[in-house]
Structure 1
Amino acid sequence: MRRTTPLALAAAALLLAGCGSQQDSGSSDKVSAPPRSATPSPTRSGGGCTAHVELSAADHGRTVCVTGGGEVRLTLDGTRTRPWKPVTADGSGLKAINAGFVLQPGDATAAYQAVAAGTVRLTSSRPLCAEPTAPGQVSCKGIEEWAVTVRVS
């Protein structure tokens, strides 16, 4: 007889919890996931702007809006074997500011102040698989990309 471990049950619960975050634009019955933290979550384009936006790897593909004078801060948690590249900003409206210290090898952090109306695309990437540490090991050359569009109003 096979035993189910608490870890397997927790993983299944998390997987099922992610299924409730879809929205049907043709219906008034919308289901959304609760906010990830006490920090105001980024808003999707078409929504209101906020003065402070915190981003993580989970925000890949999102469009967020920040008000003039506001801040955008992000932390991408990586590892020594799968490090994030430094975040790049392409566009106008944000000015890089001190993000603080990176505490873990492989992490990427960045911080920006909204200085003018515009649109900026923030990007980074990291290896999908760790590089081999010994001869004869197999590795993949895939890349995980991360991108967020920031609209400054």
Structure 2
Amino acid sequence: MRHTTAAAVAATALLLAGCGTQSGGPAGGSPSGSPSGTGTAGGGDGTGGACTAEAALTAEDTGRTVCLTAGGTVRVTLDGTPDRPWSPVTSEGSALTPTNAGIGAPRGDTIAAYRATAPGTARLTSTQPLCASPTAPDQVACLGLREWTVTVRVAGN
């Protein structure tokens, strides 16, 4: 009976470990790299770079701080899947105002765009399920979430 219990525990551990596996590079991205296609991150992230008028962020930019000049734009593109979709990006703080992203996103992806309208700081967030939802009642559910967060500092003129 002990062998059966040990085997069940081992099987459960392997199942859950596989559930958290991600593809497409490290979840946290490179802490010293620049946001995708934007040149230099700056201001509050310790890199000493200048603020920029445009920033394009992806899932690999999670945990970063970027600096925008007033009037600048930040665009977010998070690639998901229909089984593991990203939630809509939300913004906390008064430094950014949502704007039209200009394109539609494929099912599972999330896109967003914000204009830097006031000096200050904003926090952008989204989440993605670590596992696809069960399709049958006898399948194991995985309720873990991958969190994406970027801090945007808006510099005054």
TM-score of the pair, normalised by structure 1: 0.73
Coordinate RMSD, CA, aligned: 2.2
One-letter amino acid matched to 2:55: V
Q: Structure 1 residue aligned with 2:139, among 137, 141, 144? A: 137
| Greater displacement, 100-109 / 47-56 | 100-109
User: Where in structure 2 are there 5+ consecutive unaligned residues?
Assistant: 1-23
TM-score of the pair, normalised by structure 2: 0.71
Q: Is the 8 A contact 2:56 2:75 kept in 1?
A: yes
Q: Quick check: 1:56 aligned with 2:87? A: no
Segments of 4+ in structure 1 off by > 3 A? Answer: none
Match of 1:8 in 2: none
Percentage identity across aligned positions? 56
Q: Distance in 2 between matches of 1:53 and 1:127?
A: 26
Aligned residues: 124
Cα deviation, residue 101, structure 1: 2.6
Q: Distance in 1 between matches of 2:35 and 2:64?
A: 15
Q: Is the 8 A contact 1:41 1:54 kept in 2?
A: no
Match of 2:124 in 1: 122
Cα deviation, residue 36, structure 1: 7.6
One-letter amino acid matched to 1:112: Y
Match of 2:19 in 1: none
Cα deviation, residue 116, structure 1: 1.1
Q: Quick check: 1:105 aligned with 2:107? A: yes
3-state DSSP class of the match of 1:104? Answer: coil
Q: Is the 8 A contact 1:52 1:70 kept in 2?
A: yes
Question: CA 1:131 to 1:42, structure 2 compared with 1: closer, same or farther past 3 Å?
Answer: farther
User: Where in structure 1 are there 5+ consecutive unaligned residues?
Assistant: 1-13, 16-20, 23-31
Match of 1:86 in 2: 88
